[in-house]
Structure 1
Amino acid sequence: MSQASAVSNVRPISKGIDVGISDIDRKAIAEMLSEVTVQTYRTLLRSQVVHWNVVGPLFQPIHTLTEQHYTELFAAIDLIAERIRALGHAVPTGKAAAGLDRALSLGDRTTAKAMIEELIEDHQSIARLIREGATEAEDRNDFVTHDLMANRLAFHEKAVWMLRATIAD
């Protein structure tokens, strides 16, 4: 997994874990999950920025939907981090700050439609990452992580659908 392999500060915290997944596989899965955690955190923050700044006729449905999303994303981060810990690795925090300036900035996205289009892109991007991660977890016989990723994927695909429906003409 190209993005996940860039997470270099994933390190083991426990020795002697023998749950049927090799040390190498647990490390690779923890790296992938670390990247998913980072991307989820960025999407959470972007959802909050939209929630705080949206105006116009779609204010109420977008305000409500983004609050639901960032609440769900916050809970998901905890679940993913706990899985990393269960695999015997620390949850890296250094990479989480990279890209947050973009997540916290409106930039040129000042209309409700432009903000939602950006959120759609974020959810689609993380869905692709999670789909790849679910396949990797299954290939490494980590069915718990696979199931976690399948649940996360369902959330992001539904988020894309709801966001698209909200701004449809």
Structure 2
Amino acid sequence: MTTQTQTHIDALNAVLGQTFRLYVQTHGYHWNVEGPMFRQLHNLFEAQYQNLWAALDEIAERIRTQGAYAPASVADLMALAAPEAAPAQSAKDMVAKLVEEHEAIAETLRGAISAAGEAGDEASADLLTGRLAWHEKELWMMKASLR
């Protein structure tokens, strides 16, 4: 395996780990949100965690197409992600923490897109670009709700 291919697989693994952690965090917020914006945020968080859950499969399958094994345990996935954020209690804090997490994964995605390009894997670059566009749109909507 070339260095470029390994760098690409490592980048895909990082995206997978961060996506998994964000999925768990968002699902927890969906369960626990309260306040005047309950219904709106409950529905927003549900749409987000469903999208993240579907993305996990797509990202893991791209790792497999590159000849590597995808992480197969919670511990392995969490080891690939940054440390968990402290829990949020208020709806506003939940949205603010999700903004931080979506910004972090967007940055990881930008690096992964570059690594995919260098490895000549246009299909992964396309998948990752789509993921980046989704995170950027979610960021726009969440930031607008904090104003």
TM-score (normalised: structure 2): 0.89
Partner of 1:70: 49
The answer to whether the Cα contact below 8 Å between 2:4 and 2:118 also exists between their aligned partners in 1 is no
Matched to 1:149, the amino acid is: L
Task: Tell me how large the CA RMSD over aligned residues is.
Answer: 1.9
1:14 corresponds to which residue?
Answer: none
Q: Quick check: 2:23–2:49 contact (8 Å CA) kept in 1?
A: yes
Cα shift readout 1:32-57 (whole Å, capped 9, x = no counterpart): 10110000000011101111111111
Q: Give the counterpart letter for 2:117 in structure 1.
A: E
Residue in structure 1 matched with residue 32 of structure 2 by the alignment: 53
1:102 matched residue in structure 2 = 84
1:158 Cα deviation after fit: 0.8
Q: Percent identity?
A: 36
> 2:72 aligned with 1:90, yes or no?
no
| Residue correspondence of structure 1 range 8-23 to structure 2 within 5 A | 23=2
| Distance in 2 (alpha carbons) for counterparts of 1:128 and 1:153 | 9
Distance 1:40 1:160 in 2: 15
Flag the structure with more relative contact order, 1 or 2, with Cα contacts below 8 A and sequence separation at least 6: 2
1:163 and 1:83, CA in 2 relative to 1: closer, same or farther beyond 3 A?
A: same
Query: What's 2:97 paired with?
Result: 118
- 63-72 or 90-99: bigger deviation: 90-99
How far off its partner does 1:101 sit?
8.2
Consecutive unaligned residues in structure 1, runs of 5 or more: 1-21
Q: CA deviation at 1:100?
A: 9.0
The CA deviation string for residues 94-122 of structure 1, in whole angstroms up to 9 with x for no partner, is 4313469836x62xx21110111000000
Tell me which amino acid in the other structure corresponds to 1:158: K
- Stretches of structure 2 that go unaligned for 5 or more consecutive residues are none
Give the structure with higher Rg (CA).
1
**CA distance in structure 2 between the aligned counterparts of 1:79 and 1:29, rounded to whole angstroms:** 15
Higher helix share: 2
- Separation of aligned partners in 1, 2:138 and 2:111: 18
